[in-house]
A and B are shown apart, each in its own frame.
Chain A
Amino acid sequence: MAINWFKYSAPTTFYGLAGRLVPWFAVPAALLFALGLYIGFFVAPVDAVQGEAYRIIFIHVPASILSMFLYLIMAGYAALGLIFNTRLSSMMATALAPTGALFAFISLWTGALWGKPMWGAWWVWDARLTSELILLFLYFGFIALHASIDDARRADRAAALLAIVGSVNVPIIYFSVKWWNTLHQGSTIKFTGTSMHVAMQQAMFVTLLACWMYAVAVTLLRVRSIILERERNTQWVSELKEAGL
């Protein structure tokens, strides 16, 4: 049996697939958030050093991880669009940018609210914090550059270059706590294991999964609108039968 691997790389077929996939990510996201926060607030013990304030970790770390991974995925899609000239890849990159930016914002916001009681400062120009702020600006730059060019295909190419060049920032964020002396604490979870209480690890892992599911669901919803907007002149959109059309 021959499988057409490119079937879902066409906006026409992906539009329907994305719509069917959304509930499969949205519902687990809600359930996992509930479970993760339950473990994080009711099962995980108080931290010996940071008291109850450490519970910010259950959103701060997942949001930070997502802000970096979503950027790499966005840059990857943008690169695919640039190399193979595939419309859907570029649409996916455009759909990922706002969600990535929001996770970068949540990372910075929760970091400030965590930094104030622990370090005595909302913000310091530390390597980790500064490189994460640059990540947020890269998302803004991608969104603004794409929006500023009227021709969608040209916008895709220009924004793709920005995304690809900017991806050098992601390893800088990740390794910043190793490369420089920073106020930010090192990685809690390391490849060699962790000193974290098992319930804290579980809570963080579950909220991380929840954030993933949320990001996928909201990106699929957004890309459907982008597909409709950009393909509105095509035959298949004009013949599309759907609620609201």
Chain B
Amino acid sequence: MGVRIEGGGAVSIAEFFNMGGYAFYVWGSYGVTVLVFVVEILMVKHKRKSALQQVRLMREAGE
């Protein structure tokens, strides 16, 4: 199963995920980065919800 297009020729999927023995470091870097982005997006969504809630409360209080 060829994965790499250029440089070093074709490698198997297992070899790709092994990252030449550096799998923990490479995937640990990208994994945590993805996690950070997901957490940030969830935080922003939560902030949006609470901001809308505050506006609704202000309106109800004003009525």
Contact = CB atoms under 8 A, between A and B. Distances in A.
Interface of A: 37, 41-46, 51-53, 55-56, 59-60, 63, 98-99, 102, 105-106, 109-110, 113-114, 116-117, 199, 214, 218, 221-222, 224-226, 228-229, 232-233, 237-238, 240, 244-245
A51 B20 contact: yes
B59 A238 contact: yes
Interface of A is mostly: helix
7 contacts: A43-B7, A52-B26, A109-B33, A114-B29, A225-B50, A226-B51, A232-B54
B12 to A, nearest CB: 14
Which are the 10 A-B pairs with shortest beta-carbon distances?
A45-B7, A52-B20, A225-B51, A53-B22, A110-B29, A228-B51, A52-B19, A225-B47, A113-B25, A51-B20
A116 B21 CA distance: 13
Interface residues on B, range: 35 or more
A52 B30 CA distance: 14
Contact of B52 (A46, A226, A244): A244
Given A59-B33, A218-B41, A221-B48, A53 B56 contact: no
Judged by DSSP, the binding face of B is: helix
Interface of B: 3-8, 16, 19-22, 24-26, 28-30, 32-33, 36-37, 40-41, 43-44, 47-48, 50-52, 54-56, 58-59, 62
B27 to A, nearest CB: 9
B55 A102 contact: no
Contacts of A113: 24-26, 28-29
B6 to A, nearest CB: 6
Given A102-B40, A218-B44, A240 B55 contact: yes
Contacts of A98: 40, 43
B62 A199 contact: no
Contacts of B6: 43, 45, 199
A56 B26 contact: yes
Contacts of A109: 29, 32-33
